[in-house]
Amino acid sequence: MVGLPDRDRRLAHELSAGVLRGQVALDRELDIERADPRLHDILRLGAYQLRRLTRVPAHAAVSTSVALAREAVGEAAARYVNQALRRVAREDALAQPGSPDTHPPWLAARWRQRFGTEGTQRLMTWNDVRPPLTLQPARWDLATLRRTLVDAGVAVSEAPFGAGLRIGSGHPRALPGYEEGAFLVQDPAQALVVRFAAIPTGAAVYDACAAPGGKAVALATAGGGARVTAGDVRRERLDRLHHSVRRTGVAVHSVAADLLAAPFRADSWAVVLVDAPCTATGSMAHHPDARWRLTPGAIGRIAQRQAALLDAAARLVRSGGLLVYATCSIEPEENERQVEEFLQRHPAFARRPVSGGVPAELLTSAGDFQSLPQRDGIDGAYAARLVRSA
C-alpha cells in the first residue's frame, strides 16, 4: 500500500482486514469451493464490499470484480463472478461481528473454557471491529499533543487507564505532529507494559526482540532516562525500528542480533526486556490474519521458543538486575505458565512487581500484568517483572 493516497490506503486496509475477519462466512455464502482458486480473493473482496461497505455502490463492487476476473482468468470467469456477486447482493447479510464464523472453532472453544460464553462473545466482537487509534506522546508532552490535535479539529478522548489519547478517525501520517515525531502509535496495553516494567532511572536496557520499536522508543522517552539498546534477529523489521527512532528523535542504539546467540557477555545488563514472539491472541483486532494462521499445535511450539529466549536472556542479566518478559497473548501457556516454569529452572530469579505502576485491577494474583480486551477495552497483553538475586 506504499504510495497510495491516504483515502485509498484506508480502503485497502478495510478490505483486507474485513475479508480476513469474515472469511468463513464469505466462503460459505459464495460456495467458494466450486470456484476457480484464482477467483477466490476476487469473489471475497467483491462480496465484502456488497455486504459491509455502504460507501461503495453495489454496481461498482460487481463491475470491478468482474473486470479483475476477466483480466486474471478470462471471459468465462468474469461471467461466473458476475452471477455469484449478483446472487450475494440479493441474499441476507453477512455474519455480524462476534459470530462464531469469524474465528476458528477450536480457538473459540478454547476461550469458552477459560472466559465462559459471554466473555468469549465479547472477546470475538472486540476482535471483529476495527480498533481505535491510540497515540502516546514522544517528542511532545501529552498536554501539547492534545491541544494541537484539538486545535486541528481532531476528535480526542483519553484512552483507558490514562494510557494515551484516542482519536476519532484519520491516518497517523495525516495528523499534526507526525513528521515532527510528536507521538507514537501504540495501544494502551503496550504503554502499560512499559509502565509496569518500572525500569530503574538511567539503567542500561537491552530490548532483545525490539522490532518494530514501540517499547524501545517508549522506554527511551520515559522520565527515567533509560539507555536502550534494541536488538532483533529480523533485519527487515529493523528498518521500521530505525524509522521510529529517527522520527521521534530518541537515543536508541540498534543491533541485528539473535537473542539465542546475543553478542554480549554473560551478566552484562542491568535490564533485559524480552517482548517475545507469540500467538498474538491479544491483538487480533489489529491483526485479523493471525486467527487463521494459528493452529492448536502452534501454541505449544511457540511456548517452547519463548522458553529458550527466556533462558538466553537470563544469562545476560547481572546480579540484582531485572528481566522483563512480555507478550501480546492471552494464552496461559505463553504467560503465567511460562514464567512459573522459568522460575523453576532459574531459582536465582523471583517476581518483583512494583506497586503503583499500573492499576491494581490489571494485576494477577501473582503480581504480573494482564490486560484482556473483553474486560478492559484494550489489547490483551501480559508482562512479568523478574529480579535476579545472585
Per-position DSSP letters for 245-270, written without gaps between them: HHHHT--EEEEE--GGG-SS-TT-EE
List of domains in the chain: 6-90 (1.10.940.10), 99-129 (no CATH), 133-185 (3.30.70), 188-388 (3.40.50.150)
pLDDT for the residue 9: 66
pLDDT for the residue 11: 73
pLDDT for the residue 6: 60
pLDDT for the residue 98: 57
User: Counting beta carbons within 10 angstroms of the beta carbon of residue 215, is it exposed (0 to 12), middle (13 to 18) or buried (19 or more)?
Assistant: buried
Task: Write down the pTM of the prediction.
Answer: 0.81
pLDDT for the residue 114: 96
pLDDT for the residue 271: 96
Under a CB-based contact definition with an 8 Å cutoff, are residues 310 and 325 in contact?
A: yes
Under a CB-based contact definition with an 8 Å cutoff, are residues 253 and 210 in contact?
A: no
Q: How far apart are CA 185 and CA 48, in angstroms?
A: 28
Q: One of 273, 278, 328, 372 is an active-site residue; which one?
A: 328
Q: How far apart are CA 383 and CA 329, in angstroms?
A: 10
Active site residue 328: yes
H-type alpha helices, the chain: 6-21, 23-30, 40-52, 58-72, 75-90, 105-127, 142-151, 188-197, 214-221, 235-248, 290-293, 296-316, 336-345, 373-376
Task: Cell numbers for 80, please give them.
Answer: 461466473
pLDDT for the residue 111: 97
pLDDT for the residue 223: 60
> In the chain, which residues have pLDDT < 50?
1-2
Under a CB-based contact definition with an 8 Å cutoff, are residues 196 and 275 in contact?
A: no
Under a CB-based contact definition with an 8 Å cutoff, are residues 142 and 191 in contact?
A: no
Q: How far apart are CA 298 and CA 281, in angstroms?
A: 12
